Structure 1
Amino acid sequence: MADINPSAENARAMLTESLGRLRKGSDEYFSLLEKALSSSPLPIADQAKQFCNFMQRNVTATFDLGDKLTQARDVQDALKMQSEFFQDQMRALTDQAKNMGETAMKAVTGAFTPKI
C-alpha cells in the first residue's frame, strides 16, 4: 500500500499538482472552443467568442485563487484571499455584463437598421 503522508506540505503539493492538471485541461477546452467559434458561420459567433473570453477569464481567476489558497498561512489569510477574490469577481461581472449589454444593443440596433 502507498505511504500516505498527511502533512500540510504534502497536501499543498497534491493540490498544486491537481490545480495544474485542471488548469491545463481548461486551457485545452477553451482553445478548442475558440477554434470552433472562429470557424462558425453563425451571426452570433462574435458574441459567443466574447462570452467565452469572459468565461475563460473567470475560470483563470478561480484557478489563481486556488493557487493562492494553497499558500495561505492560516484561516484568516484564506478568508482575506476569498474576500478579495469575491470583490474582484463582482467588479469583473459588472464590467462583463456592461460589455455584453452594449454588444447586444449594437446587434439589435443593427438588425433594425434599414439596408439599402
Structure 2
Amino acid sequence: MVDTNPSAENIRSMLAEALGRIRKANAEYFELLEKGLSSSPLPIASQAKEFCAHMQRNVTATFDLGDRLIQAKDMQDALKIQSDFFQDQMRTLTDQAKNAGESAMKAATGMFGQKS
C-alpha cells in the first residue's frame, strides 16, 4: 500500500535519489558533449569547450544546492543556503564573464592581428 503520509526523511530520501539520477544523466550528457567538441574541426571548438566547462560547473553548483536544500533543518536554514548560493553564483558569473571576454579578445586578436 502507498504511504499517503510520508515522513520528512522519506521525502528527503526520495529527493536525494531523484537528484542522484539526474546528476548521472547530466554527467553522461556532458561526456557526450565533450567527445563531440573534442573531435570538432571548427576553429571555435576550444571556446565552445570552455563555455561547456562553465555550464558544467554551474549545473554542478545547482545540484549541490539541491543536496544542501534537501538537508536544510528549517526555512531559515534553507534561506541562508539559497542566499549563499546566490552570492557564490554572482562571483562565479563575474569570473566567467571576465574569462569569456579575455578569450574573445584573444580570438579576435588572432583573427585580426597585425600582418607583416
TM-score range, shorter chain: over 0.9
Report the CA distance between 1:5 and its aligned residue. 4.3
Pairing 1:112–2:112 present: yes
> 2:40 aligns to what SS in structure 1?
coil
Equivalence for 1:7: 7
5 Å matches for 1:4-83? 4-83=4-83
Distance 1:112 1:72 in 2: 52
Superimposed CA distance per residue, residues 21-61 of structure 1 (whole angstroms, 9 cap, x where no aligned partner): 00000000000000000000000000000000000000000
> 2:113 aligns to what SS in structure 1?
coil
Distance 1:47 1:70 in 2: 35
Report the CA distance between 1:78 and its aligned residue. 0.2
Distance 2:96 2:78 in 1: 26
> Structure 1: any 5+ residue segments left out of the alignment?
none
> Structure 2: any 5+ residue segments left out of the alignment?
none
> 1:79 aligns to what SS in structure 2?
helix
Report the CA distance between 1:4 and its aligned residue. 3.9
Distance 1:9 1:83 in 2: 24
Which 4+ runs in 1 deviate beyond 4 A? none
Identity of aligned residues (%): 74
TM-score norm. by structure 2 comes to 0.95
Distance 2:57 2:5 in 1: 35
RMSD: 1.2
Report the CA distance between 1:2 and its aligned residue. 3.0
Distance 1:60 1:112 in 2: 36
Amino acid of the structure 2 residue aligned with 1:49 = K
Distance 2:4 2:67 in 1: 22
Q: How many residues align?
A: 116
